[in-house]
A and B are shown apart, each in its own frame.
Chain A
Amino acid sequence: MADRSRLCTVWLGSETGILKGVSVTRKQAFNFCNTSHLSRDQEVRALCWGDPAESEVLVGSVDGTVKTFSTEKGQFTDSRRCGGPADGGFTGLALCGAALVTCGECGTLRVWREDSSEPALELSAGNNVCRMRQSPVHRDRVATGGKDNGLKIWDLQKPDAPLFTAKNLRDDWLDLRRPHWVRDLAFIPDSDKVVTCTGYHQVHVFDPSSPQRRPVLEVEYGEYPLTALSLPAGGSTVVVGNTHGQIALLDLRKGVVRGCLKGLAGGVRGLQCHPTLPVVASCGLDRFLRIHSLEDRTLLHKVYLKSRLNCVLLASRDLEDGRGAAGEGGSQEVKEEEEGGEDEVWDTMERVEEKPKRKTTEEEEEELQKKKKSKKKRKKGQD
């Protein structure tokens, strides 16, 4: 179990409540489940790293519990009750020092300390919050946005009023109020700016340091709501996904579509770019994890995971580095452990191996080629 979790470089949360770890090199997916009995209440809505060393994953479920999963040990170590099912699912999880920041769909943003079961800080970010994210630079700044709820940047030290409230776009040519629905947002690493993607297929860039509260840049893509957003390491591009499964790379300097990533058949629920490699992982309602390369927009890996996926989390270490700290002996140990068998409900289905199936398709291809050759020979004979 522990070895399996150490191999995984991509973590995904599904609608059935299972935390899935995928090892890209070995093309295997593992299920990690807290209870032996699944339920839809445990649907995973938010994932984030529990510590900077990335040895713990925090899993937020619909019923309001936040569970800690240790990648070293390979099991769930802790579970906390942070709000109830009435809050709606988690829309964001973040770690601020030793405190946990959570935000639910009803809009209440809470800061929890390690020991107490009551939130240390509670503030209301409006109704219908769709996403909450933490700034990578200033660890105590968070941004929230939702349906008819504009972007707000909060400083947790001064919870009374947001640092920055975005103004809605100008009224359109009929003087009607433009509808506003922030689905996902991200902080641009080197500056103060925030990128948001909306349900009305727009991407906005806000700059809190400028006096303008309206978006600095607006880009439109497609005709369907944009559900997920991620920033690659470069800084001037953004990757967005919409409900139709179209993923596009947009340029933030010019406001132009650079290219599209193909392959997804269902709505995109989670997108994440790798911190160092030019690679993006996407997951969605079609039950597949896809890893695309950002340079040439080709599909690198595709893994079938049997449930609809809600969120994805990438490890900072190299994707191909499946072994992690363990050396060659580690792989042997892994094999022995896997053959050993453990008392788990998911024993039979923990491994999704594609290698043997690949071999059979290769064999079939070889046979087909042989048959074709023999047929060609026959034709020559007839003539």
Chain B
Amino acid sequence: MDITEVPVSQDNKGKKKKNKKPKKKSPEGNAESSGVEKEEEKMEKSEPGAAAFPPTFSVSEIKNKQRRHLMFMKFKQEKRKQKMQLKKKKKKEREALGDKAPPKEVPKTIENQRVFDETMVDPEDEEVAFDEATDEFSAYFNGLTNPKVLITTSDRPRGRTVRFCEQLATVIPNAHVYYRRGLALKRVIPQCVARNFTYLMVINEDRKMPNGMVLCHLPDGPTAHFKISSVRLRKEMKRRGKDPTEHSPEVILNNFSTRLGHSIGRLFAALFPQDPQFVGRQVATFHNQRDFIFFRFHRYIFKNEKKVGIQELGPRFTLKLRSLQKGTFDSKFGEYEWVLKRHEMDACRRKFQL
């Protein structure tokens, strides 16, 4: 009996698919009422107002793909219609109330729902201020050293990486690109220190695309290892301006709020000279959102006091921190201050480290 019942109603549905929903309900109700009493009772119990609501046939029970698709589209359209109606109603109510209307609800975003992080830095915290004042970057922030960056790659780089390095060298003032020649980093580092370099940047390459970056602050500073993604070279930028000039850019660091974020922010800040040349009107931005750091390089011009025009120059890329190691590059024996442990740390979507 069950077997005979169901296809009948489905056929009804299929044939009458162009009809509106309320009309469908009555023939279905009839078909079902002629079935087993138990089933009737169950149906009635599950849908007290069966006449008013559409049947709880889930659309997925229809075996025919085309009909199922059509039913689903109808269902979605109905839903959308009801949503629009609700919106209109709300808007009317809001206008009617005028000033007394309740404040607009803020939509939930992952950034809004961020889990409270106890390592967020309080600007007035003296202990943290002392820690930062005496850490490895203090020489730079006290004005004692000027940044000098050595950019190199992993061994035998290919096209895209080479061009990326060259463009990075134009963006960062006082940067020099050197060919790697298969040298061991642990041997390169003492030579860099001897020549007064303050940063060593190694772009790692995989299948002709840059995919990783090791940024090592030189005298004895921390080493950060990043994953690079979405690299866009200058040729690929739309509506870009002319090549960047030799002026030192301003630096914008957005959203580096936790203690780890502070360390990384200082790491980036120390790449650029401390006195930006505003004549050049160039700005490098490191924007942290959801633990991804977005790098952009722009040229700006103030049209009047309220309007700014910006042109994007220079490469753009995204970084994600994989580990921060105390001391210069020593991946085997160095002590790590922070390591990304995917299965532990990425389990919660609302928890961020930087």
Contacts and interface: CB of A to CB of B under 8 A. Distances in A.
Contacts of B345: 265
Interface stretch (B139-147, B149-157, B307-315, B331-339): B331-339
B126 A225 contact: no
A245 B336 contact: yes
B127 A306 contact: yes
B129 to A, nearest CB: 10
B37 interface: no
A266 B337 contact: yes
Nearest to B126: A349
B124 A382 contact: no
Given A265-B341, A267-B336, 8 more contacts: A16-B127, A262-B344, A285-B338, A286-B338, A306-B127, A306-B131, A382-B82, A383-B53
Given A40-B134, A306-B127, A346-B126, A285 B259 contact: no
Contact of A267 (B126, B128, B326, B332): B326
B222 to A, nearest CB: 10
B130 A38 contact: yes
Task: Tell me the dominant secondary structure on chain A's binding face.
Answer: loop
B326 A306 contact: no
Contact of A354 (B118, B119, B134, B333): B118
A267 B335 contact: yes
B118 to A, nearest CB: 4
B7 interface: no
Contact of B337 (A225, A286, A345, A348): A286
Interface of A: 15-16, 18, 31, 38-40, 199, 223-225, 227, 243-245, 262-263, 265-267, 285-287, 304, 306-308, 345-346, 348-349, 354, 357, 360-361, 382-383
B130 A285 contact: no
Contacts of A31: 127
B172 to A, nearest CB: 28
Nearest to A361: B116
Contacts of A267: 326, 335-337
B125 A266 contact: no
B341 A199 contact: no
B35 interface: no
Nearest to A262: B344
Nearest to A38: B130
A287 B337 CA distance: 9
Closest 6 CB pairs of A and B: A267-B335, A304-B118, A285-B337, A243-B335, A266-B337, A306-B127
Given A16-B131, A287-B119, A244 B125 contact: no
B256 to A, nearest CB: 16
Contacts of B338: 265-266, 285-286
Contacts of A243: 333-336
Contacts of A304: 118-119
Interface in B218-251: none
B42 to A, nearest CB: 19
A209 to B, nearest CB: 33
Nearest to A18: B127
A355 B335 CA distance: 33
B54 interface: yes
Interface residues of B, number: 30
A4 to B, nearest CB: 16
A348 B126 contact: yes
A227 B335 contact: yes
A131 to B, nearest CB: 15
B343 to A, nearest CB: 9
Contacts of A361: 116
B118 A244 contact: no
Most buried by B among A40, A244, A262, A266: A266
Interface string B14-31: 000000000000000000
Contacts of A224: 332
Contacts of A245: 336, 339, 341
Interface string B102-142: 00000000000000101100001111101100100000000
Contacts of B336: 243-245, 266-267, 285
A309 B53 CA distance: 63
Given A285-B326, A357-B116, A361-B116, A306 B125 contact: yes
B119 A383 contact: no
Contacts of A285: 326, 335-338
A263 B118 contact: no
A8 to B, nearest CB: 17
B344 A263 contact: yes
Contact of B127 (A225, A349, A354): A349
A200 to B, nearest CB: 9
A348 B73 CA distance: 61
A278 B126 CA distance: 36
Given A285-B326, A287-B119, A383 B54 contact: yes
B333 A287 contact: no
Contact of A16 (B53, B130, B344, B353): B130
Nearest to A269: B335
A345 B126 CA distance: 9
A89 to B, nearest CB: 15
A40 B337 CA distance: 18
Contacts of A346: 126-127
9 contacts: A38-B130, A199-B333, A227-B335, A265-B345, A267-B337, A285-B326, A285-B337, A349-B125, A383-B54
Contacts of A16: 127, 130-131, 134
A64 to B, nearest CB: 19
Most buried by A among B79, B332, B337, B344: B337
Most buried by A among B118, B127, B130: B127
A40 B127 CA distance: 12
A244 B330 CA distance: 13
A134 B181 CA distance: 50
Contacts of A40: 134
Contacts of B326: 267, 285
A287 B259 contact: yes
Nearest to A371: B108
